[in-house]
Structure 1
């Protein structure tokens, strides 16, 4: 094994002093995916709307202008119009079938310019849907989550190209390009064509019977298109052979997985290290397979079987899409480890990821995270906790408006105790984060408000640790009446975060052995049939309890056995057992959905605000370097010890 240089060891000691200082996220909170809106301005849009208040084009203009008014300032939205540049006579067909005009390229939203362009549009020509889809796709980035929102009152009148064939072309550009189609007073044939476009790109289809419904549907669909899970990370390609696996250093990576495939990745572990390896697979709505599985297994140097794996299931991948995360932790090289002999020595360890989905789509993106924690060479901090925190009464004050992000990477920060609220749309999974320093804990609950016209579907919430290990979840059916999660009336909560929690007998307590960003996820499932009108109001009540205390004193792992005590031989943060589940809706067997049995739960009041952190100069410099920059691979742990052990953004 190669030892670190003296300079690197010295640097490790300096950075270790600022462990878990929690620098800002590398990507913007609540970052929105780019969207291209495509509007039908063909001659049929001159027909009178059912409501008698004008033409279909008038209704479409009102809907688009209302949608534009509701766009967040940071939205990246463009607009294309087809059928407005020619007439609909036979002699004009050749020109009319090329008549697709980009009136606003995808970029920072310019609301006045968008509304002026829409207002000036006149309906007159043909319906080149296939060509419009190609034009819109060309305006979007070549990678990353992106969407097209198509509004049409009829079927294509210019094929070829056939719109469904174009949709299949677009699907080959990646599973993260979606087309959401809205049929405005369409007949059965046009509806089938538009639905085909949506289904082939993992998008959604919606009917709008009149001006009022179009007004609601367009805004809702565009809002949802802006918030999708956008996988990020440094590109990496795992191998089919464990002995040629690429060696990872701590950070976040991005690969893809076929329906039935195993891939291998390696990491060098030194004496005393604890490794956390997370794999987050991202599934689009419309995934052919209802149940998806992600499995991680570890082998030691020279292929030694470590007899340790983690396996997670997503039970509603077909209906809801969304993310599925499996996490494997390993501290076999710690002093006193009882792991198999071939897996308790420093060296190259290999992680195998398997996706089991025989009838799944071709490939899905998979985020990979490697986090390595050096051994503790001094104090381990406070004793382990025996209970989770509680709150004595709900928070006071008004509900603060927030916009949840579409992924772990874009989770919106909730700055401390209080009440937060927004609207969640059917099929959405929204991410929020709360920072916990050593000595702090949190408790929360989510209220899904009632809607008289709400559709029956599933709701879900989950709490994830800084290494993406799910600590607890709860789920139930939503039928349009107010529902509160957890359903047992007790909040989902952590103990106060201390290093020695990892030795607790209770799995939920063990996972609070890491300080940093804790993630709250809210999910509203997709109902069967057409989408429901409007969204569902959600309120998140959060309590952060406890004062910041001194944490563990990390040292640099140098290949030598640490002189000071190390934690017990059990994994530092065990993830759910191989029989556990993590679906994004519905009731999944085997999950730990029950609250921790508190031996002496502290009844803590709601604390308004949060701690003020004074960051050392080294952290300030690092934050300045990273600020406003979105590299291909976000610096996952910019502020921890040299091996990358710190809080993910």
Structure 2
């Protein structure tokens, strides 16, 4: 998972946390001369981001350094999930797999589970995953499901479980062991493949607030849908997973998407600000005919990777458009709302946009790619958030840092850190590549004060 700690320079000219944008740009320039030295998956990612490159839809990009674990059939053998650490696991077609959490008596805890069906598999309309959390006594703390929808196109989907400390929820309040269970929703449904699915799991903890705040959701907020943002679109290539999501600021962004492909983006949204997103799918240049319901699926997830809202855009070859439903300004008290799309907008941080184009679009209109435009609008004035009595895990996940704003403005994807590590391990290869990288670094550093 991409860290969100502010950059701090050490004594010997080293940095702690994620390096500044200028340094990352220099490293990317170095990496251009050393792509052959990268691991196959990293080379594919680098190639996919090269202008003019056409590749088949990429597989899901798991968090760099994700630990592999096996979920247990019995809770007695459930492996421990440490908050802030990404994990890779597997989900069989039938039955539950279980994981455990060790929680204190004051923090909120969230576990996001991303299911990744194997390439070439098939799913039913209601197939998906179910994530539930229980305490040591078997008391249910939460249940959430996610499905593939009418398009029946297999792609990464995410659901979350939670242990909340709330005056309105007297259960699941004690410190101790909690269990996270994951299972298929409709494994034997018509059209569902019996293949195992890959899983990515991330647990996040949220400390209590230092002072007692509102205990009910805001009653009034502007729920009108504003005019979608207009203007010339700027190109930004989406990432292949949550950890590799491409940062976006407010603006009009253009990308190309192929049938079966899923693209990830992240938008920093501060306390008090309100997010509006519209997705446009351009017309086809083929002579094909037909109609695909929910051809373009656009889903929004909060900083804990919890589902917020989604919209499906049907496609018949002509340009189509769809907007996420109106969302409230980010507010700590939204968690007390009844509806999920309000309750989930409960903390500041990076909100994830996940776009998927159904495989069946190719049956009528070819392999594409198809032009997609994201119109991202962030209204309102940033406000001070609640004073937390402690730190979240991972650190700073529930706030918008200067680094987040810089990344969104520059469009520097989290995957660049992977490239940097690969270069560090594999070696530079040639001195000229190093000089190119240093030259870019120096140029950016000189231009920034003038800008």
1:475 pairs with 2:312: yes
Aligned with residue 240 of structure 1, among 57, 68, 73: 73
**1:351 and 2:180 are equivalent in the alignment:** yes
What 5-or-longer segments of structure 1 have no aligned partner? 1-18, 30-71, 77-105, 111-138, 148-218, 558-610, 616-625, 633-649
The residue aligned with 2:417 is: 628
* 8 Å Cα contact 1:265/1:351 also seen in 2: yes
CA displacement at 1:551 relative to structure 2: 1.0
Deviations 1:501-550 (A, max 9, x none): 11123332211111111112222212264761532212111111122211
Give the match for residue 306 of structure 1: 140
Q: 1:220-369 counterparts in 2 under 5 A?
A: 222-225=54-57, 227-232=58-63, 233-251=66-84, 252-291=86-125, 292-301=127-136, 303-306=137-140, 308-315=142-149, 320-331=153-164, 333-334=165-166, 337-339=169-171, 343-356=172-185, 357-358=187-188, 360-369=193-202
Measured after TM superposition, the shift of residue 304 of structure 1 is: 2.7
Instruction: Give CA deviations for 1:580-622 in whole Å, capped at 9, x if unaligned.
Output: xxxxxxxxxxxxxxxxxxxxxxxxxxxxxxx98389xxxxxxx
Q: Return the match for 1:108 from 28, 35, 44.
A: 35
* 2:380 aligned residue (531, 540, 546): 546
Q: In structure 2, do the counterparts of structure 1 residues 308 and 540 end up closer, same or farther at CA, with 3 Å as the change threshold?
A: closer
Alignment of 1:380-391 (within 5 A): 380=213, 384=218, 386-388=220-222
Quote the Cα distance in structure 1 between the aligned partners of 2:224 and 2:301.
18
Counterpart position of 2:297: 460
Give SS of 1:438's match.
coil
Q: Which runs of 4+ in 1 moved over 6 A?
A: 19-27, 72-76, 143-147
Shift of 1:392: 4.7
2:357 pairs with 1:524:
yes
How far is the alpha carbon of 1:144 from its aligned partner? 8.7
Give TM-score, length-normalised by structure 2: 0.70
2:336 equivalent among 486, 495, 503:
503
Deviations 1:300-353 (A, max 9, x none): 12x332264222222468x6321121111221x5567422xxx33211111111
Tell me, in whole angstroms, the C-alpha distance in 2 between the residues paired with 1:74 and 1:431. 25
Distance 2:239 2:272 in 1: 27
CA distance in 2, matches of 1:74, 1:365: 33
What are the ranges of 5 or more consecutive residues in structure 2 without an aligned counterpart?
Answer: 8-15, 22-27, 46-51, 392-399, 405-414, 423-451
Q: Deviations over 1:405-460 (max 9, x none)?
A: 12222111112x22111222222221211101111121110111112426643222
Distance in 1 of aligned mates of 2:69 and 2:167? 32
Cα deviation for residue 385 of structure 1 reads: 6.2
Distance 1:328 1:446 in 2: 28
Identify the residue that residue 439 of structure 2 maps to in structure 1. Answer: none
Instruction: Say if 1:385 and 1:228 are closer, same or farther in 2 by CA, change over 3 A.
Output: farther
- Calculate the aligned-residue CA RMSD, in Å: 4.1
Flag the 1:515–1:21 CA change in 2: closer, same or farther, 3 A. Answer: farther
Q: Distance in 1 between matches of 2:416 and 2:246?
A: 17
CA distance in 2, matches of 1:400, 1:73: 21
> Which of 419, 432, 435 is equivalent to 2:252?
419
The answer to which structure, 1 or 2, has the higher relative contact order (CA under 8 A, 6+ apart) is: 2
State how far apart, in whole Å, the 2-side matches of 1:256 and 1:393 are.
43
Separation (CA, whole Å) in 1 of partners of 2:148 and 2:133: 22
Matches within 5 A, 1:95-174: 108=35, 141=40
Q: Answer with 1 or 2: which has the greater Rg.
A: 1
Shift of 1:379: 5.8
